[in-house]
Amino acid sequence: MASQFKIRRKVEFVETDMAGIVHFSNFFRWMEACETAFYQSLGLPLISFNPGKVVGWPRVNVSCEYRAPFRYGDTVEVRLLVKEVRTRAVVYVFQFRKVVRGRPEAMVSARGEITAVCVKNDPESGQMISAPIPQTVRAKIKVAAEKSRAR
């Protein structure tokens, strides 16, 4: 069972603003990229198009707190930690650290959080409705230790 996952990426010029600092919106893209890679690492589909089956994980709450900037050319480590697994939702914490000489700095430069709800297509109404998290997902994820999420 996995409780955390991380990716690294180099900041591209297009991701910066006129001050040369990463634009705030990119942190949300990086959180989603890390979540996608997390699911892929577990062999789980992030989206399923089978009628009546789980079809996605829309966000019902997102946030990001910025403490130190990233600039063009910096390498960033994005670390996903499972904060909570509810009946129909998963809450993730994301820690962003600058990588210097191949190692992530101790200081967290930004901290984000996403609450994603498990949904399926209701065959009667054709609408998306919340659904219990499938056992196949529950069997592969677990909550990360509180100590690691607090950093």
pLDDT at site 39: 94
pLDDT at site 146: 80
Q: Is 101 left (phi over 0), alpha (psi -120 to 50) or beta?
A: left
Kindly report the pTM of this predicted structure: 0.92
What domains are there in the chain, each with its CATH number? 4-150 (3.10.129.10)
8-21 average pLDDT score: 96
Q: Cα-flanking dihedrals φ and ψ of residue 136, to 5°?
A: -60, -30
Of residues 6 and 52, the one with the higher pLDDT is 6
Q: How far apart are CA 115 and CA 138, in angstroms?
A: 16
63-90 average pLDDT score: 97
pLDDT band at 46 (very low <50, low <70, confident <90, very high): confident
